Amino acid sequence: MKKLFTSESVTEGHPDKVCDYISDSILDAIYEQDTDARVACETCVNGNEVMVMGEITTTANVDFEKIVRNAIREIGYTKEEYGFSADTCKVYINLKKQSPDIALGVDNSLETKQGEVLGHGAGDQGLVFGYATNETEEKMPMAIMLAQKLAEQLTKVRKEHIIPYLRPDGKTQVTVEYDGDKVLRVDTIVISAQHDENVSQEKLRKDLIEKVINEVVPKELLDSNTHYYINPTGRFVVGGPAGDSGLTGRKLIADTYGGYARHGGGAFSGKDPSKVDRSAAYMARYIAKNIVANNWANQCEIQISYAIGVAKPISVCIDTFGTNKIPEEDILKIIFKNFDMTPDGIIKTLDLRKPIYRKTTNYGHFGKKYFNWEKVIDLECNI
């Protein structure tokens, strides 16, 4: 049966992504000095104002306001005419230490207190999902991979002055047509790109199709019936925080699988890896990708759940959507044999106590080969 599926992405100048980038920039700055820090940092923006809030326990000495302004400058908000500027925005810092009640469970897991030494407990209760599919080289769904690459290309042509009239904010959306699980073609592409005054709709459309879409989307997926919606309102001059408020953690579906797989609901950016809604989501992706890459299934979705202060997962569940090459019970045995899903095990396996998080913020946390959770490994399958 033929079907259409759509995913979206946003550029780093989108208000929500501005917040994600600031939060992860603060996390990285702290981790450069103190890799044992506990960080739960959220940012909100509106107009020409930024507020950073949350709970941070660290020995690091960092200039939070300087980090905020540098992050905004790196994104490209450097002109007052944008209505939001690194040099003129007001910055409010409202940070406190992590609750001692939370630290009590995280520092020593329930199992460790009972004599089974398993190190730290989960930083919160919650559930995460990981997913992989063999429909792309990255083992990601086609729609979200194309949407992410289009958003990244929008930023590239802006920063490299290939399309010099673009501004930082932008959104992309891709609709893929399937026949069952097989990708047939791209049905629709939507791009909304912030731009300078006095740029014609005709020029914008021509440039974005030629220098963004045609540089990213494989020609064989485009045909005469593919629909293009380029700035469909006709104008996008006011954008970024001047046009809309932003908040850390509000682009969770764009951060993950574009809606093609489920999401546990926990945000990623601004959180150190003791928070399993980030680190365990990375582990879940790592597991799912290796199940698919080792050809035990064409698709794999895994759910892992945790209780605060407890090291071992409460539950692990997989779904291969009928594409498994061996029984799902055996796949679960392989998972338990090869992957340590405790917080300490995840951090050690994926080497997460490093200032790597700014690189994750934009254009998806998954599908980038330079992250440890994207590595393909040989799994022990003697079950």
| Chain length of the chain | 383
* The residue type at 52: V
pLDDT at 382: 75
Give CA–CA dist 90/86, Å, rounded: 9
Tokens of 76: 């490209």
pLDDT at 103: 60
Give CA–CA dist 156/168, Å, rounded: 10
373 neighbors 285 (Cβ within 8 angstroms) = yes
Which H or E run includes 285? helix 276-293
List, for residues 255-302, the tens digit of each pLDDT value: 999 999 999 999 999 999 999 999 999 999 999 999 999 999 999 999
- CATH code at 2-11+141-239: 3.30.300.10
Packing angle, helices 15-31 and 64-75, rounded to 10: 130
pLDDT at 380: 77
* Residue 92: strand, helix, or coil: strand
Q: What is the DSSP string of 121-186?
A: PBSS-EEEEEEEETTSTTSS-HHHHHHHHHHHHHHHHHHTTSSTTEEEEEEEEEEEEEETTEEEEE
Q: Any idea of the CA torsion for 239, 81, 270, 91, to the nearest 10 degrees?
A: -130
pLDDT at 124: 83
pLDDT at 120: 82
pTM of the model: 0.95
260 contact partners, CB below 8 Å, separation of at least 6: 5, 7, 131, 133, 141, 143, 144
Give CA–CA dist 270/257, Å, rounded: 20
Helices and strands in the chain: count of H runs, count of E runs: 11, 11
> What average pLDDT does the chain have?
94
Closest CA to 147 of 178, 113, 186, 180: 186
> How does strand 166-179 pair with strand 2-10?
antiparallel
Cβ–Cβ contacts within 10 Å for residue 371, how many?
17
C-alpha dist (Å) from residue 254 to 7, 147, 232, 286, 351? 8, 9, 21, 18, 24
> Running along the chain, 383 residues long, what does each successive block of 10 average in pLDDT?
97 98 98 94 98 95 97 97 96 85 59 64 90 97 98 98 97 97 97 95 96 98 98 93 96 98 96 95 98 96 95 96 96 96 96 97 97 93 73
List, for residues 15-25, the tens digit of each pLDDT value: 999 999 999 99
pLDDT at 222: 98
Closest CA to 106 of 40, 32, 49, 164: 40
Distance, C-alpha 280 to centroid of its chain: 13
Closest CA to 275 of 246, 245, 247, 248: 248
> How does strand 299-306 pair with strand 90-96?
unpaired
pLDDT at 265: 94
